[in-house]
Chains A and B, each alone.
Chain A
Amino acid sequence: MSGEGIIESIAVMHDRSNGLGGGFAAYGIYPEYKDYYAFHIFYDSVFSKKECEEFLERHFDIINLSKIPTRKIKAITDEPLIWRYFVTPLPTKLSDSQLDEREFTAKCVFHVNTRIDGAYVFSSGKNMGAFKAVGFPEDVGRFYRLEEYEGYCFTAHGRYPTNTPGWWGGAHPFALLDYSVVHNGEISSYDANRRAIEMYGYKCTLQTDTEVITYIVDYLHRKKGLKFTEIASVIAAPFWQTIERMMPEERELHEYLRVIFSAQLITGPFSILVGFDGGLMALNDRLKLRSMVVGEKNDTVYIASEEAAIRIIEQDLDTVWSPKGGQPVIVCVDGGEV
């Protein structure tokens, strides 16, 4: 499918954002470069671009680089330089680092974002990309010519920022490697989550809930090897009173997850969409303090904060339902694995 539908859908949610940030994640859009990491980078100036490119050249083989195609529209102004690179780690650098390829790449992304002034990698996965800007999401979609991309999964977000000023890097989705998160809500566990995840080598630079959720997903999935169902049981853990009623084996598992990953529990209202290679997970906080609706039509799944955002692009749905708090909805492309 193309990016047209997601723009149309998020436009209905116009009043849920205030024009201070909008964005999209699109999966399956770079089939010709699917074995390379696609870095999308904002630069404040040509100087930061030069410094960043020198860093990239020292660590990666750059297969292709170009400006990300955009179109001028009135609603989107003050854009930074926006570039895209398809890269693969230099074999010598990679073996010297004694890291696996994904960890090496993630470390380089953190290096750019924390050490190179004026450069910000906002997308770094394979065969996927994040596109974001300050503006209403439907305008951001047109700005990035999203309708010209073909992919298997799209997510979108319109911001109503309360904690941090609107800037291009601060818009959702947040992405690291092929994980992307869009998030509606404000989590009360932020600083507990932040201080815990920073112990494992992540740097939270943006004071934003969504950033820390992205790192938690990356940590639990990539570093700890949890499945997405298990990740849901960590970040929106069942209440102890629920766990106590479970069968012994299930109970032991959930108790184990809560004890070990107590600092990755997320409280406060959230509904999140987690994109990953081959699929998508939607999840509400365990009290369901945010709305979320799922619609299905044949083999296509739609998930939105409001049913209206689904109906605008698919009126004839097979089913429409609301997941319970803490109940993950995991959708995979055929043959995909969670």
Chain B
Amino acid sequence: MALNFLYPDYEVARNYDRCIACRACERQCANGVHKYLSDSGKVVCDDAKCVNCHRCVSLCPTRALKIVKSGNTYKENENWSGKTINEIYRQADSGGVLLSSMGNPENYPVYFDKILLNASQVTNPSIDPLREPMETKVFLGAKPQRVERDNDGRIKNNLAPQLALSMPVMFSAMSYGSISYNAHESLARAAGELGILYNTGEGGLHEDFYRYGKNTVVQVASGRFGVHPDYLNSGAAIEIKMGQGAKPGIGGHLPGVKIVGDVSRTRMIPEGSDAISPAPHHDIYSIEDLRQLVYSLKEATDYKKPVIVKIAAVHNVAVIASGIARSGADIIAIDGFRGGTGAAPTRIRDHVGIPVELALAATDKRLRDEGIRDNVSIVVGGSIRSSADIIKAVALGADCVYIATAALVALGCHLCRSCHAGRCNWGIATQVPELVKRLNPEIGYKRLVNLLTAWQHEIKEMMGGMGINSIESLKGNRLMLRGVGLNEKELEILGIKHAGE
């Protein structure tokens, strides 16, 4: 039966008037799309293998290539889309769970795009960041309940450990294994240069990268891969990963083929063995168990590192966050349902979790209502796409944001969403040496620095426009936001007014 024949979603369109048969596309494509026919002297391609990553398009010296959407269509049906039908064919063929990568691409509301910012007019001057200081520095961590003084009346420094960031952005967790050595090096060096932090993810920390420790968040997840005392003490903060926005409620699985060489050593597991992170932490079946892990990690690091607890944005996120805020954690990270991943079951990625904008607004309000907002800082991710998203997140109540997809895009990712295949042509989500070396960390880290420097300029411009010269005065300042096209319930949850009000 040819029922499982799937016509390619995309076609590689080659302009033979331009093609000089240099075979660059053939060499660049790890998926084997392009093939040189010596008889005819032509390069041909197999569209079915194409993942639409644009590696060949970008490197073609004569711009002979482009990828176009396939015109092939099933009989039109509003209920049974071509995508749905194809997925059924694939599952009927394989009997397997559908896998996907990167964030949820489906058509759900993006609340950030329905929120607009304010600016000063007449009654209050806007501030020009080129002329006046404009502060984006933030501190993350718990705040003490009381001010204490010594016998001479001087204020005692009773601050819990804090993370100081030059701007309210950190690189979110991506493990060494899910992404390449060169991608990690780019992130680590960029974090160092920018005065922010990157995150190891659950893959341990490569010994070469210990020197970036003060710009590193080390993660402890359910598989506990790569966790040992030196690792915990090497970073600026420790993150307990309870959940991930792309796949709430499930664990992770890095296939044995990626557990090679340094990846195996860093994760502290044998080469070729699958790295399976369980869905729950098997020592955390309730909130009081989380508290024990938080304090175990603090004990192991002499109470010198803030502990972050990362959760996926799910229905009860505000209540869960409230529990975490009373668990000894210093920082809560909330990952929205659009967050990226190196691999996730498609159904979970596309149908589980809630938008981070709503999760953030509800959590910030809940913690304030309970009077415990000062116990913790809030970091949100999944997905933050621009400086405008950052401004909006901070005004909704976030202390800081996590970015990962945007960082990978800066490194060359074209969002083909095929990370799980392990053949990333851009050298990011792969462990194949000849692919990894395509990502030059020297260039990569500069591109990350450029991106965030540009965003910082934009943040300053927007803050200045609002007459605000310090990011602290933007935090939770929801009067700076107005909704457009949102219903009353959405406005109520976001805690903002509609435009015109």
Contact = CB atoms under 8 A, between A and B. Distances in A.
A279 interface: no
Interface string B151-184: 0001101010010000000000000000000000
Interface in B464-484: 466-470, 472-480
Contacts of A321: none
B168 to A, nearest CB: 12
A190 interface: yes
Contact of A262 (B120, B132, B475): B475
Contacts of B256: none
Nearest to B480: A191
Given A188-B468, A191-B479, A162 B473 contact: no
A262 B374 CA distance: 10
B125 A289 contact: yes
A191 B478 contact: yes
B470 A195 contact: no
Interface string A214-251: 00000000001110001000000101110000000000
Nearest to B144: A260
B124 A262 contact: no
Contacts of B467: 188, 267-269
Contact of B147 (A189, A190, A225, A287): A225
Nearest to A290: B125
Contacts of B162: 259
B371 A256 contact: no
Interface stretch (B133-141, B311-319, B437-445): B133-141
A192 B123 contact: no
A267 B159 contact: no
Contact of A199 (B368, B473, B474): B368
A265 interface: yes
B420 interface: no
A268 B472 contact: no
A266 interface: yes
B414 interface: no
A206 to B, nearest CB: 14
Interface residues of B, number: 38
Given A186-B123, A191-B480, A262 B135 contact: no
B428 interface: no
B267 interface: no
A188 B157 CA distance: 30
Contact of A263 (B127, B469, B472): B472
B42 interface: no
Interface string B113-143: 0000000100111010000110101010001
A199 B123 contact: no
Contacts, number: 99
Contact of A287 (B123, B159, B469, B477): B469
A239 B127 CA distance: 15
B147 A192 contact: no
A240 B159 contact: no
B247 interface: no
Given A199-B373, A224-B147, A239-B135, A186 B124 contact: yes
B161 to A, nearest CB: 11
Contacts of A225: 147, 149
A293 interface: no
A267 B468 CA distance: 6
Contacts of B132: 287
Interface size class of A (residues with CB under 8 A): 35 or more
A229 B144 CA distance: 21
A306 interface: no
B159 A259 contact: yes
Nearest to A237: B470
B474 to A, nearest CB: 7
A195 B367 CA distance: 11
A188 B368 contact: no
Nearest to B135: A240
A196 B371 CA distance: 9
A185 B143 CA distance: 30
Contacts of B466: 188
B159 A198 contact: no
Contact of B124 (A198, A268, A286): A268
B125 A260 contact: no
Given A186-B124, A240-B137, A263 B468 contact: no
B498 to A, nearest CB: 16
A259 B163 CA distance: 11
B473 A256 contact: no
A252 interface: yes
A191 B468 CA distance: 12
B124 A269 contact: yes
Contacts of B479: 190-191
Contacts of B477: 189-192, 195
Nearest to B147: A224
A317 interface: no
A199 B372 CA distance: 8
B373 A260 contact: no
Contact of B476 (A192, A258, A266, A267): A192
Contact of B475 (A163, A200, A253, A263): A263
Q: Which of A196, A258, A262 has the most CB of B within 10 A?
A: A262
Contact of B472 (A192, A200, A241): A192
Given A190-B477, A198-B368, A252-B157, A226 B147 contact: yes
A262 B139 contact: yes
Contact of B371 (A199, A241, A258): A199
A256 B164 CA distance: 12
B139 A259 contact: yes
A239 B147 contact: no
Contacts of B474: 189, 192
Contacts of B133: 239-241
A289 B149 CA distance: 34
B473 A269 contact: no
Nearest to B372: A199
Contacts of B127: 287
B143 A260 contact: yes
Nearest to A161: B123
A192 B143 contact: no
Contact of B368 (A186, A195, A260): A195
A105 to B, nearest CB: 21
A187 to B, nearest CB: 8
Interface string B29-69: 00000000000000000000000000000000000000000
Nearest to B126: A188
A258 B473 CA distance: 12
A222 B98 CA distance: 61
Contacts of A241: 133
Given A192-B475, A286-B469, 12 more contacts: A162-B123, A190-B479, A191-B477, A192-B473, A199-B368, A199-B373, A256-B155, A259-B159, A267-B470, A268-B468, A269-B467, A289-B125
13 contacts: A163-B123, A188-B466, A189-B468, A192-B476, A195-B368, A195-B477, A196-B476, A199-B374, A240-B135, A260-B147, A267-B469, A268-B468, A269-B124
Q: Which 4 A-B pairs have the closest CB atoms?
A: A189-B473, A188-B467, A191-B479, A192-B477
Interface of B: 120, 123-125, 127, 132-133, 135, 137, 139, 143-144, 146-147, 149, 154-155, 157, 159, 162, 368, 371, 373-374, 466-470, 472-480
